[in-house]
Structure 1
Amino acid sequence: MAERPSNPAAGSLPSWLRIVDKHKGLIVPLAFVLLLIVILIPLPPLVMDLLISFNISLGVIILLTTIYMAKPLDFSVFPSLLLATTMLRLVINIASTRLILSADAATPEAAAGVAGKVISAFGDFVAGDSLFVGIVIFLILVIVQFVVITKGAGRISEVAARFTLDAMPGKQMAIDSDLNAGNINEAEARQRRQEISQEADFFGAMDGASKFVRGDAIAGIIITVVNIFGGLAVGIIERGWPVGQTAQVFTKLTIGDGLTSQLPSFIISIAAALIVTRSGAKADLGEELTGQLMSQPRGLTITAGFLALLAITPLPTLPLLATAGGLGMLSFGMMRTAKAKAHDARDTAIAESQAPAEPPPVESLLKVDTLELEIGYGLVALVDAGQGGDLLDRITAIRRQLAAEIGLVMPPVRIRDNMQLEPGQYRVKIRGAAVAAGELRPGMLMAMDSGIATGQLQGEATKEPAFGLDAWWIDPPQRHRAESMNFTVVDTTSVLATHITEIVKQHAHELLTREEVNNLVETLRAKAPKLVEEAVPGLVKVADLQRVLHNLLRERVPVRDMETIVETLADWAPKTNDADILTEYVRNALRRSICEQYAVREADRPPRIVCVTLDPAFEDQIAAYVDRGPAGTSLTMPARVANQTAERILRGVQRVTAAGHHPVIIASPQVRGVVRQILEPHLPTAVVLGYNEIPPGVEVESLGLVGATEPAEAVTAA
């Protein structure tokens, strides 16, 4: 079966074009190699004519491409192309100099065509019978390029590069704000960040590339002077030709050579200046120029009147009146067009205002935001950066914090003002359902008692919404007094940001969608491609991976180490499809990072886990209600028994919390998961570890043994 062309349009191309299209990646390397060969090997005049013609046409193509591009990044290869064209011109200069100085001619007249017809024609056309005219025209061209265009383009490149780099942080913050507000998704944010980075790289490269243009202009002047004196030396000293004829021939050839080099250089310099002056362009130069220059008909009218006044002076009357008449007619036509557009726009606006309003499409009502924050009108200032609000910046910091802590990319937060809420109230929703709410006091501070505060504050008593600590709303002047009494004082934005962080951690398993799991897998693919190729989806289905990640996040186990998670699942998934059992295997592999969160570290002793443990007989009673079947692990314990079991464990846990530690229970791996399931409705922050999850080097300090009836007295184990 014949191989199909990779490009759908390639089938209609001639065979030689298909070959070029297939191997187009070799064109640029071969071109550079050929340029190096041109320096070493003398060229016949015909080849020199072809190279010069190609150089001029390339300059025109670059200029027209610059004019028609919509924005500078559409021609992002320009800095590299600028270097390539500079090298091409210098190589042609070297090759043409060799032809001119090594002219194999018996007389000066015969030497006129040794460098090719293009160089000879340029010299004759510009200089004519006067060498002085040719030299002056050449110098004017070089001076305009060197002093005006090249210097201006170089300065603009420097300023554009500096301001582009200075504006990068602000643009990045604007993207993060739009992402947090839900105005754009993660893919759009990633694309915008990439465009900002490319823009900075482009203008930085243009800043350096402009030096090539300036150096090329200087090199052109030096090469021209060297060619003139070198030609005179060759003709007079080596060949013995008359001085006048030698100067006539070699000066014309040198001027022609210089013009064939400086003309494309001049064109590309204009292109470089155009591309750096259009950093904020949104359309091609023709559209912007005509649209802006012709946007004010009054300017054309005044200009026409000015030219008409000049016509009554001794200046030529006919050209001035003809130009004034043309501008006047153009201005009159533009005014009529503007009036017609304004009339049409007014009629359209009236028709739209009288037309019945169409209801929004039903499909728009089906959209549900993953994470939503509703605020009362009194909290709008927290979101408005113009009023000093930095909530959007805090949410950006929360996204980074959560990604670093638990490995979850928090979805964008859609922030809405809800007039049905009290001015200081807010409500957090996940997929349209409210999961938390609170009330803030704008303009006031919250002073929290973490257990070490001394004294009383004058303020409104409240509860810190994230952790339920006793707190008071106080006026800002009381801040120093509250801090001196060991109260923790924060502003309203910090209270709300902390609450959002805890809500996301608590409901992280609900926010981890199938799409996000695929993103995590693709991120892992970049790091460990062989592992992903072998394991997903061959050994581990994405759905099974999502269920295991849900189980981990439900117990606040970080999922940053996706490589270890996928490796463990790849080992055990062929043996069982029970997500709970697979979760236990993964937890065992992540035991160091799990215990790291709850280990107590002191300088004079090894890290230790302060906890309560379960009596083996008590664990056997719980295990009797565990049913492991083909559909997975399920708990058949009656609600009354589950409540009694939870109460017994919680009474033991009180000893741990009373000692100032996180509530940690250690159980056997067989019942660890169901114990956590029993405790979750009563104490969501409880941590249940398995004995196998305690890594070497970590001690266990048990403050109690929970039995089938009541917890035993404190028992310390190491």
Structure 2
Amino acid sequence: MPNNLFGNRTELFMAVAVVAVVMMLIIPLPTILLDALMAMNLVLALLILLIVLYTRKATDFSIFPTILLVSTVFSLALNVSSTRLILTKGSSFDGRMVRAFSSFVVGSGGTEGLVVGAVIFVVIIAVQAMVITKGATRIAEVAARFALDALPGKQMAIEAEYNSQAITEEEAIARKNDLQREVDFYGAMDGSSKFISGNVKVGILITVVNVIGGFIIGMVIHGEPPALAISNYIAFAIGDGLLSQFPALLISTATGIIVTRSVSNGTFGEDVSEQFTRDARIYWIGAVALGALALLPGFPWYVLLPMAGLLVFMAIRLGRRQTKRDTAAAKTAEAKKAKPETEDMSPIVPLDPLSLELGYGLIPLVDREKGAELLERVHRIRRESGLDLGLVIPQIRIIDNIRLEPSEYCFKIQGVDVGRGKIRMGYYLCINPGGVKDELPGEKTRDPTFGLPALWVNEDKRDEAERAGYTVVDPPSIIATHLTDIIKRHAAEILGRQATQKILDTLKKDYPAVVEEAQKVLSLGEIQKVLQSLLREQVSIRNMVAILEALADYGQAAKTAKNMQFLVEKARQALSRQICLQFATDDRVLRVLTINQALEQKILDSAVETASGVISAMDPPTRMAWIKSLSRAVAAVQDQGWYPVILCSEAARYLVKSSSDRELPNLVVLSIPEIVPDISVEAVGEIKIESEVDGKLAG
């Protein structure tokens, strides 16, 4: 509570202060308040300079551009207020700060002091306008442009580290945010540096107005002699100008320092200490040069020789320190050499859960500086797969592999090849979906994802291919589509025990009772096997609450009967609406193929218990006839534009799926308990073995 109160007070104070600064431009101030505010302006400029000197990174002082604006307006408001008092009070003006700068800082009185003060004022203005401000403005412009140009490359480097698992997702987000803040900071500095140059020009204008206005008011209105008017108003104008430009000079210096230290990670003092003490030889050379200069006639030897001695002292100290560092480095190197190489090796060499290897000819696909967007697509696919399957896909490491052909890419799961293809850079893959009549000339190939016939054509023929009915795909889309298919087909392999534990830990925060009850009945490995079985048939496990509730309800019965497949069926039934809607039409009609009762009984009779579960063990002739009839029925449904779905009893569902998985891996098999009441079922065919085949089998 106290911290919040203090924060609220700070916000209120800043709001009042900014409004007061603006109001100072039109509201007269008493002299004593003007002196206090001028002293505050000096302190503020000094604090800004010190903060910049002790800041490690420019973005650590991110409010600096805003501070530049506020301090500039504050300085101008003081200038206007002092001008008002000088012109209204004339020789009776009693501003102590302005009088101090018009006399003490100049160093002498009378005409000589006025001339010296004017010269100092002009020199300060020239140094600030032509050297510091101009240089800082130019550096800010260049830094802003280069920071913006380098942003894509730096983001790509961060994305590459993230994909290679060198950094976590939180670290990647933090680094990207730092990059964005850096670009925003230098962009703001590019404009904010104009405040200082504008302040210099306005300071000159106000000084000239003070002198001319003072002449007019002093001689015409107050009736003062010309000499008195000149001495008073020029002195006040010079003092006021010096007092306003000195804080501006400090802030200009701070601006120059902060924009020139963009590559540093330490404070200014740390950098000076480190970089001026690297080599003792430069101090020896400097000492010799000063000593030789002191021997020349006319040079102040009493100044040069002590300075040469100081450089010799520095050179000796740095030489001793450098010797110690070299000795320590040599001992460290010897110790490393003495260690056996096996100590540096990890006991295991971990494999990437999922990786994409590219031939060197495909490297431009991941180079964002050349407009590539494959990295962004891979990140998007991971997110979409997580939403579709309920499985968080691990980071996909993208690396180059010189063993691959230049135009070849390869997907690996745990270091094992699960899919590969070839891409012709600069060409488009034209896939024939089946309705193309006029074939185009081109290099014949096959789509690496689905194996469909395709052609490679150059960009000039892209529009022609689209008009002819081809599906035209660019190289990044080929890899992205292949990756999506790899994830769907191998999701069960990607889900390991560690990933399963993370799912349960995350779910436990909101549903502790469900997770704890399921884990009381089933082990982590048993839950993983159920989830893998669902993913193997491309059933999303995103609704983990329903899955775990089903496992908790039937887990003990499944373990007693030693039938874990029974659990999978109950989990599917808990997701029945999700599964039905996945294959039903928009009007909630599910078109299915049924299985002849006699054939289904043969499949049930072929069930055999094994160590890995129940499998179908039909004799070869029966299985051949079954696959032939099934393939014919599926093809007939596909010809009508419908998705092939098999509907059978709960007991036969897994056997039907497992017996046809090798020949028809994408076949969808549903059981009758999985059909929800509000889904209409329409039978579009029956699968059965022909009578002649039955006769042959019977004979």
Q: 1:54 to 1:402 in 2, by over 3 A?
A: same
**What is the rounded CA distance, in whole Å, between the counterparts of 2:377 and 2:385 in structure 1?**
12
SS at match of 1:684: coil
Q: 1:192 to 1:21 in 2, by over 3 A?
A: closer
**What is the rounded CA distance, in whole Å, between the counterparts of 2:145 and 2:42 in structure 1?**
33
User: 2:593 is matched with which residue: 596, 613, 633?
Assistant: 613
Q: Is the 8 A contact 1:517 1:542 kept in 2?
A: no
Q: Report the equivalent of 2:98.
A: 119
Q: Is the 8 A contact 1:161 1:204 kept in 2?
A: yes
**Residue identity matched to 1:340:** K
The alignment status of 1:214 with 2:197, answered yes or no, reads yes
Q: Report the equivalent of 1:60.
A: 46
**Residue identity matched to 2:332:** T
**Residue identity matched to 1:256:** G
**What is the rounded CA distance, in whole Å, between the counterparts of 1:332 and 1:386 in structure 2?**
53
SS at match of 1:654: helix
Q: Report the equivalent of 2:322.
A: 338
Query: For residues 280-313 of structure 1, what are the alpha-carbon distances to aligned partners after superposition, in whole Å with 9 as ceiling and x for unaligned?
Result: 2122222223322343433333333222232214
Q: Is the 8 A contact 1:552 1:583 kept in 2?
A: no
**What is the rounded CA distance, in whole Å, between the counterparts of 1:206 and 1:123 in structure 2?**
33
Query: For residues 598-625 of structure 1, what are the alpha-carbon distances to aligned partners after superposition, in whole Å with 9 as ceiling and x for unaligned?
Result: 98xxxxxx99999753379799989x99
The alignment status of 1:142 with 2:142, answered yes or no, reads no
SS at match of 2:186: helix
Q: Mapping of 1:255-270 within 5 angstroms?
A: 255-270=238-253
CA-CA distance at 1:705 after TM superposition: 0.6
The alignment status of 1:436 with 2:418, answered yes or no, reads yes
Q: 1:120 to 1:86 in 2, by over 3 A?
A: same
Question: What 5-or-longer segments of structure 2 have no aligned partner?
Answer: 519-526, 555-569, 606-612, 692-699
The alignment status of 1:77 with 2:54, answered yes or no, reads no
Q: Is the 8 A contact 1:49 1:118 kept in 2?
A: yes
TM-score (norm 1): 0.70
Q: Report the equivalent of 2:560.
A: none
Q: Report the equivalent of 1:397.
A: 377
Query: For residues 30-62 of structure 1, what are the alpha-carbon distances to aligned partners after superposition, in whole Å with 9 as ceiling and x for unaligned?
Result: 211222343343222222222112111111111
**What is the rounded CA distance, in whole Å, between the counterparts of 2:316 and 2:516 in structure 1?**
68
Q: Report the equivalent of 1:86.
A: 72
CA-CA distance at 1:212 after TM superposition: 1.1
Q: Report the equivalent of 1:653.
A: 634
**Residue identity matched to 2:319:** M
CA-CA distance at 1:192 after TM superposition: 1.6
The alignment status of 1:585 with 2:577, answered yes or no, reads yes
**Residue identity matched to 2:84:** R
**What is the rounded CA distance, in whole Å, between the counterparts of 1:679 and 1:217 in structure 2?**
87
Q: Is the 8 A contact 1:181 1:412 kept in 2?
A: yes
Which of 94-103 and 200-209 deviates more? Answer: 94-103
Q: Report the equivalent of 1:531.
A: none
Q: Report the equivalent of 1:167.
A: 150
Q: Report the equivalent of 2:223.
A: 240
**What is the rounded CA distance, in whole Å, between the counterparts of 2:308 and 2:667 in structure 1?**
87
CA-CA distance at 1:234 after TM superposition: 2.5
Which of 507-516 and 216-225 deviates more? Answer: 507-516
Q: Is the 8 A contact 1:514 1:543 kept in 2?
A: no
**Residue identity matched to 1:183:** A
**What is the rounded CA distance, in whole Å, between the counterparts of 1:239 and 1:27 in structure 2?**
42
Q: Is the 8 A contact 1:39 1:91 kept in 2?
A: yes
CA-CA distance at 1:168 after TM superposition: 1.2
**Residue identity matched to 1:186:** E
Q: Is the 8 A contact 1:398 1:501 kept in 2?
A: no
Q: Report the equivalent of 2:331.
A: 347
Q: Report the equivalent of 2:610.
A: none
Which of 499-508 and 664-673 deviates more? Answer: 664-673
SS at match of 1:41: coil
Total equivalences in the alignment:
632
Q: Is the 8 A contact 1:580 1:673 kept in 2?
A: no
Q: 1:667 to 1:333 in 2, by over 3 A?
A: same
CA-CA distance at 1:67 after TM superposition: 1.5
Please, what is the CA RMSD of the aligned residues? 5.7
SS at match of 2:28: coil
Q: 1:237 to 1:508 in 2, by over 3 A?
A: farther
Q: Mapping of 1:480-629 within 5 angstroms?
A: 499-508=482-491, 511=494, 513=499, 580-586=572-578, 591=581, 594=582, 613-614=593-594
**Residue identity matched to 1:55:** N
Q: Report the equivalent of 2:183.
A: 200
Q: Report the equivalent of 1:23.
A: 9
Q: Is the 8 A contact 2:366 2:373 kept in 1?
A: no
Q: 1:157 to 1:649 in 2, by over 3 A?
A: same
**Residue identity matched to 1:236:** M
Which of 31-40 and 340-349 deviates more? Answer: 31-40
Question: What 5-or-longer segments of structure 1 have no aligned partner?
Answer: 7-17, 522-534, 600-605, 626-635, 712-718
TM-score (norm 2): 0.71
**What is the rounded CA distance, in whole Å, between the counterparts of 1:672 and 1:536 in structure 2?**
37
SS at match of 1:39: coil
**What is the rounded CA distance, in whole Å, between the counterparts of 2:490 and 2:517 in structure 1?**
19
Q: Is the 8 A contact 2:160 2:398 kept in 1?
A: no
The alignment status of 1:99 with 2:79, answered yes or no, reads no
Q: Report the equivalent of 2:523.
A: none
User: 2:276 is matched with which residue: 266, 289, 293?
Assistant: 293
**Residue identity matched to 1:222:** L
Q: 1:100 to 1:448 in 2, by over 3 A?
A: closer
SS at match of 2:179: helix
Which of 535-544 and 44-53 deviates more? Answer: 535-544
**What is the rounded CA distance, in whole Å, between the counterparts of 2:514 and 2:660 in structure 1?**
28
Identical columns (%):
32
**What is the rounded CA distance, in whole Å, between the counterparts of 1:307 and 1:462 in structure 2?**
78
